[in-house]
Structure 1
């Protein structure tokens, strides 16, 4: 006996088999726990009290006898369709947007490239292109440049980051085509529906409202587009209202998804149609602004402003918000979906007010200068020399007269016949 006869040798097959069985048992327990947690989460997420009015259940919205209802799983088709729209957009911008921009006379401004400078480039990325004046002086000393040369380098570097007019035009043209097709497509779907003309009909026999195929495809088209906007957001032009745009896209996607899942298709379709009515006018206005066709741009801007204010500040609160807040609860008691849906609509209305203020600022500039110069959400191209530099290059005396020792003052004393003035 060697002292191991009472036990088993290390690496014994029986022991290995036992360990494998224990491991498999633990794996099965983990799988069972995950399935149980997922089942509980799924039950809570689709709890009828969250989505439907009291005394209604999902079983009442099951398809039967040829009658089809909206099901949340239907919206999964929006994901591959959104990717298809992204591919379609880049193809459209390349094959249609760019040739159209050249045909309309869109011209990109020539830009001077900066000389490579690792020190300045590092601070450009760290400070988002706008270092403080104290940092500017230190950087100038480190690089052996004057302060004005350093300022000019940062201005030119910022201009290199700004998108050209052709890119802006292509983005606007794609959105114009989508919003135009979406608006008139939605109008053709809803034109003969009673709830388009009387929003209170949105709650007639809710939520037992059958789904029409045309309405489903239009809804799917809208949801796919807004998902595609989020996908391409890192590549799009970053405007000053970037955060508001992101919030708008998220609110819209949530509204579309929730309204479809809760069978709030009627009121949701009115919200979508109301928004598309002004959006294609805005994109058309941008296109002609980039093409420097100011008369057409100004006319479209006036029409867009009137449509925007009427739909967002008049129709939306008096027709949409009124019927969702007050008329909807005449047939059933409020539930979670009622409060959630109305909260999203209220947030959307706050964004409407924000953009209305921007439009009013543009109108103020329009009335003062007689034309709409630019979208105030966009960064303007900076000139090669700042106003401060220009003032230094064109100094004036204390009494406001021009200096007499400059090249222009010396040239001014020569008369047209080539003789020098005696005065």
Structure 2
């Protein structure tokens, strides 16, 4: 009796926008080692910042929802929450690089909870919502010499930090600054009840026009929201998703370096949120004196922290096509590596984004990094 050979499992590759696509766009070689090879970073500073403030906001919202009268936790309890999140991250090997970084991280968390929280927490309906769906694998412009994966589809996955449920005629939201920002940025013909996707970013507001060859974070994060909105819209309990909000948490309590960068962007005209003329904020930013966060009003800091992105069916389709294109590029790099034993030659690099290179453990072997001398085997070898 002849027995057939069991076929290998049919696997659908899964890609997330932050964990896969954005990492690949920052630097394909770094993504190959850290993301696919699972080689841990020795200096995960940015990861600590993002996860610390995410964790504090999530725990503060959980306690806000559990409170009998819907009050935000007071300063002593918030300090306990920050200590709790710090211990959780340390148990996973994530620690701030030094005391100054921990101090500014805790300062930002305090502002986020006690200043942003009263505007955000009342409109949150769900937090940490997983989203996923499948799309056809894009085969356009696939090199003829490379083998293709058996699967003709891939999974698009992500986790939304917050989904808000907004009712415009709710009297309690008449003075809500986030609802006001959404209403101002969108057309007047909004449904009476709708959803807004909120995504926290542990970074400062990026410039609209980056004059380097670094990844275009202004547009990348916009189509992240568009992609999340498309995945959310097909869920059974979803209401119309009319907008997404990026919250740049560093803007709530900018560092000295952030303020110096803001001054340069204002002079170059590459930032979209400028202070009102003849305001105290404008006067402070117009001079070259050093300053810290209290020198800027909270209204101006909040305006810089919030970025409202309108969402429509067409904008979602455009974002999904961009997602498809980056997935294809990653799949091509995978296929090239399977045909060649040399990782360094098959994955793209990006040495123009200095912040990515500074924290990278693999810059010493990257062919694109200035000053690196790496001897690669020739094709004949």
TM-score by length of 2: 0.26
Q: Give the number of the structure whose residues are more often helix, by fraction.
A: 1
Q: Give the number of the structure whose residues are more often strand, by fraction.
A: 2
TM-score by length of 1: 0.24
Greater Rg, structure 1 or structure 2? 1
